[in-house]
Structure 1
Amino acid sequence: MSVLVVNSASSALNELSESEPLLQVHALRVLNSVVDSFWPEISSYVPKIQALSESPSFPEPQLAALVAAKVLFYLGDIDQALEYALMAGDNFDVTEETEFSQTLRSRCIDLYVEIKSGSGPREREHLPSFTNTNLESGETTSFTVKEANFPVLERVVEDVFNDCLKKNETFEAVGIAIECRRLDKLKDAVATEKDPQRVPLLLDYCFRCSQGLVASKAYRTEVLYALVELYESQSIPDYVSICKCLGFLEDSKRVAEILARLLKEENEQSHLSCLQIALDLFDSDSPNFSRKLYEEFSLQFSEEKGGDKTLFHTIRSILNGTVPSALYLEFLYTKNHSENNVLKKVKQSLDARSSVNHTGLVLANGFMNAGTKNDAFLRENIEWLSRATNWAKFSATACLGLIHTRQASSALTLLSPYLSNEGGSTSAYAEGGALYALGFIVASASSFELTEPSLQQYIPVTARGLNSRSYLLSALRSAGNNEVIQHGACLGIGLACMGMATGDENDELYEELKGILYSDSAVAGQAAAFAIGLVLVGSGASRAIEEMVAYAHDTQHEKITRALAVCIALIMYGREEDADTLIDQLCDEKDPILRYGAMFTIGLAYCGTGENKATRRLLHVAVSDVNEDVRRAAVIALGFVLIRQPLQVPKIVKLLSESYHAHVRYGAAMAIGIACACTGSYHAIEILEHLSTDAVDFVRQAALIALSMVLMQQSEAMNSKVADIRRLFDRTISDKHEEVLSKFGAVLATGIINAGGKNCTIEFTSQSGFLRSRAIVGMTMFCQFWHWYPSAHFLSLSFRPSALIALTKDLKLPKMEFLCETKPSLFDYVKAASQEQKKEEEPVVSAVLSVSTHQRRRDRTKKTTSTESKVNTGTTAPMDLDTEKSKEQTKDSSKSKVEQQHESSSYRMENPTRVLPQQIPYVRIPSDSVFKGLTNIAHPGFILVQPKDTQVAVEYVSYQLYGYPVVQEDDMPQSSQTQEPMSQVEEPQPPAPFEYHED
C-alpha cells in the first residue's frame, strides 16, 4: 500500500479561498495536518483563517483558531498563538507531546499563576494584551486573558493536571498544584498516589516546593497548614515532619500539644519521636520560637497531669538549649585542632604598634578558638595583650566571650576579673568588654529565663548561668553616665535577650533600652539602638518602627542614625511583603544612612526567599544610587536574599565585581562570601581571587574575608584551591608593603577559615530547611564592622559545629561507630601549618662554595673508573646533590601515590565525630552495629539511636557537662542504666586581668 506524500499546501489553500463553508472546513483539516511542515506557505493566509475563527456563521471556528494558533506559533508570536489556542477549545490538546503543545502549555500555567497570585498594577503590565480585528468593520478590540479567556485557561491547567495523574506523574502534579495555588488539587494528587512508599517522598517534595516555589508568605502559610492536614490524614502520622511544618509556621501551641500527646503514650517509639522533634526544633536556632515553645510545653504538661516526668524534663533541657549546648561544647573541646603557632607567626609578622593589627589578631584568635575554651594564646601573650588601649581593650576582653561560648553556667565566674561588681578590674573598657562577652556566652548557650511565677519550678538549676540577663540589666542601670560600660551592657543585653521583647508599652526591656537611646549619647545610643533591633528581631513591631524612624530624623549623631537604620532592618527580619511599605518609605529618604538601612531591610525581610522583586530592586540601587555606602549595602544585601541559591550569586554579581566603583566591588565580594559560605564554589573563588589583587585595599580585604568563608571546612582533596588560598593569607600578612586594611582582612580570614578549632562552619539554614535567625543576625552585624570594629565579634553567632552526635533516649552518648563510605583524605582536616612548612622546606638545598665544589669534583674523578668519568664529565657537586634529593623526592612521591592508591574506600568514625554537610551522603550506621537510628542520617547534628537488642549491655562515652545538669536531681529519678563516670576535666583559671598602661 503506497503512502501519499504531500509536497505542498497549495491545493488546500486554494480550497480555503472557496466560498463554500464545507470546502473551507475540509481545507482547514488538511492544513492542520501539514502545518508543521508548510507553515511558511500558509502564513500569508493567516488573516483569512483568523476571520473564519471569529465568524459566528462558520461551522468550525475552533478548528480555524487551532490552525491560526499553530501558524502564529511558528512565526514566533507566542502570546497571539496562545490567544487562538484558547479559542480552539477542545481542539487544543494540551497533552500532546509536540513542541507547540508543550510550549503553550507552559505559557498557560505561567499566566494562570500570575493571575491567581493577584498581580498588582505593576506586575499586570507583563500580562499579554490580545488584539482582535473585525475584518468586515475594521474595528479593533484589545483584552487580557483574565478578561476574556480565564475560564478556558483554567480548563487547560486542569487538563494538564489530570493528564499528570493519569500518567502517574504525581510529583509533577504536586508542583503544578502548588504553583497554581490549587490546594484542592494538591490533596487530590496525594490521595491518588497508589504506592504507599512514595507518599512520604511526595509529602517531603511538597514541603520543598513550598520553600522554593512560593514567594508569598501568606500563601506559604496556607500550603504548610494543608501539608500538616495531609500528614495527619496518613494511617501512621509522621509527627517529626508535622512539627517541622508547624515550626516553620511558628505555631508553638500545636507543637507543644503534639509533644505532650506523644509524652503521654506508653510507647518508646513515641518518646524517641518526641526527643527527635525537640532536637530538630533546637537546630532551627530561633530564640523567640524556642522560648514560646518552652513555655507552651510546660503549660501543657502542668495541665495534662500525665506522662513521663523524666522525659518531660529531658525535653525541656533540649528546648532551652541546656544539653545540646553542653554536648557541642564537649565536642569542640575534645576535637579541637586549633594551631596557636599560626597565631604566633601572624603576631610576629604584624606591626605591634598598630591598633588595627592588634584588634585583627585578637579577633582571629577568638574566631579560631570559638567555643573550644582554648585561651592559651592569650595566656602566653599577656604582655602583648596589655598594650591594647581604649576600644582595642574593649574588643580584646569581649573576645573571651567567643572563646568561652556556651559556658553559661560559669560565665560570671570566668569574667569576674574584669567586672567591678565581682571585685575585678575597674577599667571601664575592660568592664564594658566583659559585659559584651557575657552576652555572647549566654546567647550561644540558647538558654533563657522565664518570668512567669507558675513556671519557676521548672527552671533547671545551672548555678549562676541563667541569672546573667538580670546581671546585665543591673549593670546597665548602675553604669551611671559611663558610655563605655553602657555600650557593653546594651550589646550584652541585646545578645542575651535576642528576640525576647515585644516593643509594647508594658515591655520593660524595650523601655529601658529606649531610655538609653533617648539620652542622645553617641556611644551609648549606638549600642542601645543595636540592642533594640536584637531584642525585637523579626517582631515587626510597628510602634517601635515608628519611634525608631522618628528618632533617626531627630538625632544629630551619625553613629546613632546608622545603628537605628540597622535596628529597623533587624526588626523587619523575615517579614517579606509586610515590609514593603516601610521599604518604599526608607528608599525615598534624602538621608543616605536611612537608604542604607533600606537595603538591609530588603535583605533581611526577604532573606532566603530568592524573591525576584527584591533582587531587581537591590540591583537597581546598586548601580543608580549616588551614595557609595548605599550601593555597597545593596550589593551585600543580595547575598542575604539569595542565601538558598548560592550558585546563582556569582553569576548575578560577576559584572558588579568588575564595576569601576570600589564600594560596589567590596559589596560583591561580601555577597559571595555570605551566600556561598562553606560551598567551595569554583565560580565564587574565581571572582574572589581576582578581587584579592584589586588596586583598592578595602576591596582586597573583603575578598580575603569572603575567600575564608567560602573555603571553611574544605580539605585539599575536596578543593585544590585550599592550599593556594591559605598561602595567599600568609603572604598578605607577611608582606611589609601591604596596606593595613588588607592585612586586617587576611588576619580575620586566617581566624575564620580555622573557626572553632577547624570544627565549625557558617550555616544560615538548618538541614531541616529552617533559616537560622541567630546566624543571619550575626552576619548582618558583622557587616557593620566597616563602621565599628567591635561589631565583628557577631560573626561567631553564625558558626555551627560540624558534629554528628548519636544519643540514646536518656541523652547519653553510646559507644558506637559511623561508617563513611569514601576515602579518609576527602573530608579530613586540613594539614597543620607545621607539616606544610616542613614539606616546603625539604627541597631547599644549602649553598655550596665553589672551592668545595672543585675539590669534591677532583676527589670524585680520582675514585671513579674511566667509564664513570665519561658519564660524569661536566657534572658539578650541587647537581649531584640535587639529583640525589630528586631521587629521594621521587621515591617519596611514588610512595605517597601508592599510599593514595591503596587508601581504603571507607572508614569508621567514633561517636561523636566531625561530619561535614557534604559528607552526609556517605555516612551511615554500619549494619554490624548494635544500634539503629530512629531516622536516616540526613544532616549533621543530633540523631537518636536505640539498641537492636534490649538485652545487650550498652557502653557509654564519658563526657563532662560542664555544670549543665539536665534536670533538677530531686525531680528526676536516676536511670536504671549505668553510665561511666564523667571525665574530670580540670577547669583552667581565667586569664589574669590585663594591666593596661596608657602611654
Structure 2
Amino acid sequence: MNELISYYNSEGSTDFSRFEKEGYYMIMLALRTRDCSQIWNKYSVVASLGIINQTHSDIGIKVLSSNLPNQPGWKVGQPYDDAGGLYGLGLLQADKPADDIKKYLREQLSAAIDTMSGNTNNELLTGASMGCSLAFIATNDVDITNLLEAILLYDVPLPSEAACLGMGIVNYSKFDTALIKKLLAFSSHTQHEKILRSIGVAISMLVAHSNENCLEVVNEMISHENEFIRMGGVLSLGTAYFQNTNNDIIARLLKLIIGDASDEMKHMAVMALCFVYLGTSEFVNALETFKMLIDSFNYRIRYAAASAIGLIAAGTGDRNALELLLLVINDSHELVRQAALISLGMIYMGISDRMILYQRKENTPTIDIGDISVTKLPIYPTPTEVRDLLVTLACNSYDDVMVRVGALYGLGFLTASGSNATLATVRRVIEKNNETNPGMKGLLESQKWVGSFISPVRAIGFILYTQFWYWYPFILNITLSFVPQALIAVTEDGMAPEDFNLRLNFFLKLFDYLIKYFVST
C-alpha cells in the first residue's frame, strides 16, 4: 500500500490528501481479504477505486488500468475485477466523460456482446452495461441503446438488469414512448424478478420531468398485473414530477401509501414522494409529511421515510429532521435502524460542531442508543458525537449486521470526500437581520431554505441509490449526486480573478473540519 501511494505521489499528485490515502488503504486491505474475492464483493470494491478518484480523472484511470480489459497490467481470468473496473470507470467519468473513454467503453460493451453465450460472460456484461451507460448519461445515443437492448433480450438476471437500467440512464428524461412500449412488452416475456424491477426503474428515468404528459403510461403501469411493474409505475409518478410539489400528485401518492396492500408498493410510493419534494423550497412541508409516515406501524414505510428524510435534509444539520430520525434510531426492525443511521450521516454532511453548538441549549437531554452496549447521544448532537456513535455501532460485534452496515454507510456520508462534499438538495440562505448585533445564534436562526438545481447526473444518482436495498452495489451511484462544498470565484471569462475580496459575517471556526478520529492499536 505504501508503495502504491509513493508511486502516485511521485507521478505528480501533490494534492493527494490524507483522506484519499486512507481510502486507498482501506480498499487495498479489502481486496486482500478472502471474503472480498467472492461473488460480487470484489466488483463493488474495485468500482470504489473509481469513486475515490472522481476529481482526479487521470490518476483514477491509472489505478483502474489493471482491472480494465486490454489495458496495461490487465490479467485474463478475473471477471469480477474486470466488471468492477468498467463500472468504476463509468462512475469516474460520469459527469464529463472524455471522448477516448467513451470510445473504449463502447468497444468493451460491443466485445462483451460478441462473446455472449451461456452463463460464461455475465459479470463482464453487467460491468460493461453499467459503465458504458454512465458514460453516456442523457445523451439519447441510439447505438448504445441498441447494444443494451441486445443484452436485455439475453434474459439473464444481472446482465439484463444492468442493460435495462442502462437504457433508462442513456435516455434519461427523453420520454420515448416506443422504447417504453418495448420495455413493457418484454416484461410479459421474462420471469426474472431483477429484470422486472429494472424495467420499472428504467421507465421511471425515461419519464423524468415529463409531468402530466406521462400520466397515461403511469396509469397503465400502476394497473398492471405484475407487482414489480406497478412499483415502477409508482416510482415513475414521483420522477415525472421531480422537484415539482404538485398537490394532486402528493395526495395520490399518500393514498397509495395508505391503501395499497403490497409493502413494496408502499415503499416505492414513499420514495416517489421523496422525489417530488427533493430539491424544492418546500423543505418544512416535506418534513411535516414524513413525520406522519415515520410513525407508521408498517416497517417498510418507516424504512422508506427514514431514507427519504436523509436525502431531503442532506447537508442541513436541521434539528427537525434529526428529531424525526431519533424516533426510529432504536426501532424494533434492523432495516429501519439502518436507514436512520445512514440518514444521520447524510444530514451532517459538511456541518461543523460549531454550527450545532451555537444553536444547542445547555444541559441538552440525552437518549440511549443500542440494546446490549448502550451509548448516550444528546438530543441535538454535534457531528463529532454522531461520528463517535457510528464508529461504536459499527464496531459492536453484538449488534445486528444490518445496523452495523448502516453505521458504516452513515460514517461514509458524514466524512465524504474528506468532509468536502455534500448532497445539498436544499440551500441555506440567511435573511437580513435588522438587529445591530444579532450574534451567531441570531444569524443562524434567521435562515430560510431554498431549492437547489439537480442535474440529470445527480438525479440518476438519487434514483439508483434508492434501489440499493435489494442489491448493494447500487449504493455507489449516490456519489454521482455529490457536490463540492467550496466558494469558487471566476470572472465572466471563467478565469481566476486578480482582485477578489469576500466579507464573511461568520467566525471562521464555524467551518472547521471534524477533529481527526484516532484509533488505538
Counterpart pick for 2:241 among 592, 599, 606 = 606
Match of 2:81 among 424, 430, 441: 430
Equivalent of 2:400, from 739, 742, 745?
739
**Which of these residues, 167, 184, 200, is aligned with residue 549 of structure 1?**
184
Structure 1 pair 500–476 and aligned structure 2 pair: CA distance change class (3 A) = farther
Q: What residue number does 1:161 align with?
A: none
Q: Distance in 2 between matches of 1:737 and 1:607?
A: 41
- Distance (Å, rounded) in 2 between the aligned partners of 1:633 and 1:333: 45
Q: Which amino acid aligns with 2:19?
A: S
Alpha-carbon distance, 1:692 to partner: 1.1
Q: How far apart are the structure 1 equivalents of 2:407 and 2:452?
A: 32
**Helix, strand or coil at the partner of 2:184:** helix
Q: Is the 8 A contact 2:31 2:42 kept in 1?
A: no
The match for 2:314 is: 677
Q: 1:791 aligns with which of 462, 470, 474?
A: 474
- Is 2:70 the partner of 1:421? yes
Report deviation, 1:476: 3.2
User: For 1:420, what is the secondary structure of its paired residue?
Assistant: coil
From 390, 394, 403, give the equivalent of 2:43. Answer: 394
Q: Is the 8 A contact 2:49 2:60 kept in 1?
A: no
Match of 1:748 among 396, 405, 409: 409
Select the residue among 530, 537, 541 that pairs with 2:172: 537
Structure 1 residues 438, 742: closer, same or farther in 2, change over 3 A? same
Please list, as runs of the form range in 1=range in 2, the aligned pairs for 1:534-683 lying within 5 A after superposition.
534-643=169-278, 644=280, 645-683=282-320
Residue 397 of structure 1 aligns to a residue in which SS?
A: helix
1:812 CA displacement: 4.6
Matched-pair contact (CA < 8 Å) for 1:805–1:813:
no
The structure-2 alpha-carbon separation of the partners of 1:560 and 1:671, relative to structure 1 and needing over 3 Å to count, comes to same
> Is the contact between residue 764 and residue 776 of structure 1 (CA under 8 Å) also seen in structure 2?
no
Letter in 2 for 1:528: A
On the 8 A contact 1:425/1:431 being kept in 2, the answer is: no
Instruction: Indicate which of 464, 473, 476 corresponds to 2:109.
Output: 473
For 1:480 and 1:817, locate their aligned partners in 2 and report how far apart those are by CA, in whole Å.
59
Preserved contact between residue 20 and residue 52 of structure 2 (Cα < 8 Å): no
Separation of aligned partners in 1, 2:214 and 2:410? 34
Which residue, 18, 27, 50 being the options, matches 1:378? 27
2:94 equivalent in structure 1: 443
Work out whether 1:831 is the aligned partner of 2:509: no
Distance 1:340 1:431 in 2: 23
Decide whether aligned partners of structure 1 residues 336 and 419 sit closer, same or farther in structure 2, where only a CA change above 3 A counts: closer
Structure 1 residues 827 and 790, CA, compared in 2 at 3 Å: closer, same or farther? same
Q: Go from structure 1 to structure 2 and tell me whether the alpha carbon gap of 1:676 and 1:769 turns closer, same or farther (over 3 Å shift).
A: closer
How far has the Cα of 1:803 moved from its partner? 1.7
Paired position in structure 2 for 1:497: 136
Question: Of 459, 475, 490, which aligns to 1:776?
Answer: 459
Task: Please tell me whether the aligned partners of residues 583 and 601 of structure 1 are also in contact (alpha carbons under 8 angstroms).
Answer: yes
Which amino acid is 1:740 matched to? V
Structure 2, unmatched stretches of 5+, are 1-12, 358-380, 428-449
| RMSD of aligned alpha carbons | 2.5
In structure 1, what is the Cα distance between the partners aligned to 2:251 and 2:115?
46
Q: Per the alignment, in what secondary structure is the counterpart of residue 771 of structure 1? A: coil
Gaps in structure 1 of 5+ consecutive residues: 1-331, 342-364, 366-374, 450-463, 839-999
**For residues 175-254 of structure 1, what are the structure 2 equivalents within 5 Å?**
none
Shift of 1:640: 1.1
Contact kept in structure 2, 1:337 and 1:758, CA below 8 Å: no
Which residue in the other structure is 1:352 paired with?
A: none
CA shift digits 1:681-714 (9 cap, x unpaired): 1111001012111010000001111111111111
Q: Determine if contact 1:410/1:465 at 8 Å carries over to the other structure.
A: no
Distance 1:335 1:638, change over 3 A: farther
Tell me how far 1:626 sits from its aligned partner. 1.0
Deviation at 1:339, TM superposition (A): 8.4
Displacement after TM superposition at 1:734 (Å) = 2.1
How many residue pairs match? The answer is 454
Q: TM-score under structure 2 normalisation?
A: 0.82
Distance 1:515 1:387 in 2: 31
Aligned-partner SS, 1:694: coil
Match of 1:691, SS state, is coil
SS in 2 for 1:433: helix
**Alpha-carbon deviations, 1:830-857, whole Å to 9, x = none?**
22223xx89xxxxxxxxxxxxxxxxxxx
Contact 1:599–1:637 at 8 Å: present in 2 too?
yes
User: Which whole-Å deviations, capped at 9, do the CAs of 1:253-290 have from their partners, x for residues lacking one?
Assistant: xxxxxxxxxxxxxxxxxxxxxxxxxxxxxxxxxxxxxx
| CA deviation after TM superposition for structure 1 residue 407, in Å | 4.3
Give a deviation string over 1:583-621, Cα, whole Å, max 9, x none: 111111222211211121111110111111111111111
- Give CA deviations for 1:550-571 in whole Å, capped at 9, x if unaligned: 1112211111000111000010
Residue type of the partner of 1:395? S
* Amino acid of the structure 2 residue aligned with 1:730: V
Report the equivalent of 1:704: 341
Taking the aligned partners of 1:810 and 1:560, their CA distance within structure 2 comes to 45
Give the Cα–Cα distance (whole angstroms) in 2 for the partners of residues 598 and 700 of structure 1: 28
1:772, distance to aligned residue in structure 2 (A): 1.9
Amino acid corresponding to residue 801 of structure 1 in structure 2: P
1:723: Cα distance to partner? 3.2
* Bigger radius of gyration: 1
Closer/same/farther in 2, CA of residues 381 and 531 from structure 1, 3 Å limit? closer
| Aligned-residue identity in percent | 28
Specify the code of the residue in structure 2 equivalent to 1:470: R
- 1:761–1:397 CA distance, 2 compared to 1 (3 A): same
Give the letter aligned to residue 323 of structure 2.
Answer: E
Q: Measure the CA separation in 2 of the matches of 1:476 and 1:411.
A: 23
TM, length-normalised to structure 1: 0.43
In the superposition, relative to structure 1, how do residues 768 and 677 fare at CA in structure 2: closer, same or farther (>3 Å)? closer
Question: How much does 1:806 deviate?
Answer: 2.5
Partner SS, residue 791 of structure 1: helix
Contact 1:640 1:674 in 2 (8 A): no
